Amino acid sequence: MLRLALKMLFGDSAKYLMLVAGLAVATFLMAQQTAVFCGLMSWTKSTLKNVPAPIWVVEDRVEQVNETNPLLDTDVARVRSVSSVAWASPLYSGIQRVRLESGSFKVIQLIGIDANTLAGAPAKMLGGDLMKLRLPHSVIIDDLGVQRLASKRGEKVGLNDVFEINDQEARVVGIADAVTSFTGGPYVWTTYERALQYVPAQRKMLQAVICAPREGVSLDQAIADIRRETGLKAFVNREASFEEFLGQMRGQPTTNFNVSTVWWYIKNTGIPISFGITVIVGLMVGIAVSCQTFYSFVLENMRHLGALKAMGTSNSTLCLMLITQAFTVGIIGYGIGLLGTAGFAFAALKNEQPPFYMPEFVPFAVLAVILGICTLAALMGIWRVSRLEPAMVFRS
């Protein structure tokens, strides 16, 4: 009987396509928007990924890594003097403008690191030499900068090419692998001292002190010591887990800079709302189109379902037939929607634009929502069929 149910479904190709299309669009909207949202959120903490230091010490009011609230220059030495700290280096991080040869301007994320230790340097070089960063006017750019900082579209910046940061020469000595910044601009590394020259003079420039604990001291122990001995705020820099975000939702404090940063954007910007609205629109489209189409499919088949009932099909078999039909379009629509999302992901990851990151739970959650919609649609049909009088089939 279930085979017949599927034949009845596929036989009505207009409704079938409508159902699959509605569910595919809903799947795509929900999965793609969630992934772009998560991608955008992961971009907010790009600096933490690109400047790999286990501990970040920041000004007391700072909650997220893109916030600029400088420390005193002497704070580097104070952190260094904490007994559980192995090394500590100054860090400049800020958004600056680059003037290209063509005269146009581009926004970059400028990172200034300690010239002696090169702590905070890119973890992976794609070309050039990290050590040359100590030469005059040297910078390292990321792979996005290779395209973005070229004077003409389609050209590429190579080693030894020159551009200007606030009227001062910057010569490319290396190319690094990096994740895209929140602003979408490329990362440019230079030494801390040179960063101060590139940036218009301000009284305080030290954005953060990055440091690492001595051997045998845990990260949590080290940040507690820094806090106690210097009064400065210290965060650990490690991958954020889903549980940590759940902790934020419950209002638990966090010492993970990644969690604190992402949470700050969730709490203080309209980003979650605007994405949330699109996800809800997807859900609505799914519910409206699927339930409405499936219900009219059931209504149209009422005479046939009535005949089946009169001929002795049990109510439970009829329900099973409707559920099979609903879940079949659900799974197919979901598959197509996810395929579309994968295509989008492929393009996004290739261009590094727009942001895209899909945590593993997203496809499962979307599948659950889609199957929920199908269950709802099937239940509407079942409700209608259960009230069906089999005697009606004797009337034309």
Partner 1 sequence: MSTPDDLKIAAKLRGIQKSFGDGESRIQVLKGIDLDVRSGDITMLVGPSGCGKTTLISIIAGTLAADEGQLTVFGQDLRRLSPAGTTRFRAKNIGFIFQAFHLIPTLTCVENVSVPLLIQGISHSKAEKKAKEVLEKVGLAERFHHRPSQLSGGQQQRVAIARALVHEPRLIICDEPTAALDAHNGHIVMELFEHVARGQDRAVLIVTHDNRIFHHANRIASMDDGRVIEVHDVDAAHPPPDHLSVHERL
Min CB(379)–partner 1 separation in Å = 20
Encoded one letter per residue, x for contact with partner 1 by CB under 8 A and - for no contact, window 306-345 reads xxxxxxxxxx-x----------------------------
Min CB(289)–partner 1 separation in Å = 21
Closer to partner 1 by Cβ: residue 4 or 125? 4
Closer to partner 1 by Cβ: residue 19 or 345? 19
Q: Return the structure tokens found at 201.
A: 């003079």
Encoded one letter per residue, x for contact with partner 1 by CB under 8 A and - for no contact, window 291-310 reads ------------xx-xxxxx
The C-alpha atoms of residue 162 and residue 170 are separated, in whole angstroms, by 6
Strands (E), 32-157: 55-58, 85-99, 105-113, 125-128, 138-142
Closer to partner 1 by Cβ: residue 148 or 309? 309
Question: Which residue has 């218009």 as its token pair?
Answer: 200
The C-alpha atoms of residue 207 and residue 229 are separated, in whole angstroms, by 19
Closer to partner 1 by Cβ: residue 7 or 97? 7
Closer to partner 1 by Cβ: residue 9 or 51? 9
Using CB under 8 A, count the residues that bind partner 1.
28
Min CB(335)–partner 1 separation in Å = 23
Closer to partner 1 by Cβ: residue 310 or 331? 310
The C-alpha atoms of residue 134 and residue 171 are separated, in whole angstroms, by 12
Question: Which residue has 């404090």 as its token pair?
Answer: 253
CA-to-CA separations, 185 to 98, 138, 143, 227, 231, in angstroms, rounded: 10, 19, 11, 33, 34
Min CB(389)–partner 1 separation in Å = 8
Give yes or no for residue 380 binding partner 1 (CB under 8 A). no
The C-alpha atoms of residue 385 and residue 319 are separated, in whole angstroms, by 8
DSSP 71: B
Q: For residue 354, say if its preceding peptide bond is cis, omega within 30 degrees of 0.
A: yes
Closer to partner 1 by Cβ: residue 62 or 382? 382
Give yes or no for residue 387 binding partner 1 (CB under 8 A). no
The piece of 154-162, 255-263, 337-345, 386-394 that touches partner 1 (CB under 8 A) is 386-394
Closer to partner 1 by Cβ: residue 215 or 394? 394
Min CB(291)–partner 1 separation in Å = 21
Backbone angles phi, psi at 86, to 5 degrees: -80, -50
Give yes or no for residue 17 binding partner 1 (CB under 8 A). no
The piece of 18-26, 46-54, 203-211, 384-392 that touches partner 1 (CB under 8 A) is 384-392
CA atoms within 13 A on the CB side of 279: 20
For residue 133, the one-letter residue type is L
Q: For residue 52, say if its preceding peptide bond is cis, omega within 30 degrees of 0.
A: no
Other Cβ atoms closer than 10 A to 317: 15
CB 103 within 8 A of CB 109: no
Binding site for partner 1 (CB under 8 A): 1, 3-4, 7-8, 10-12, 303-304, 306-315, 317, 389-391, 393-396
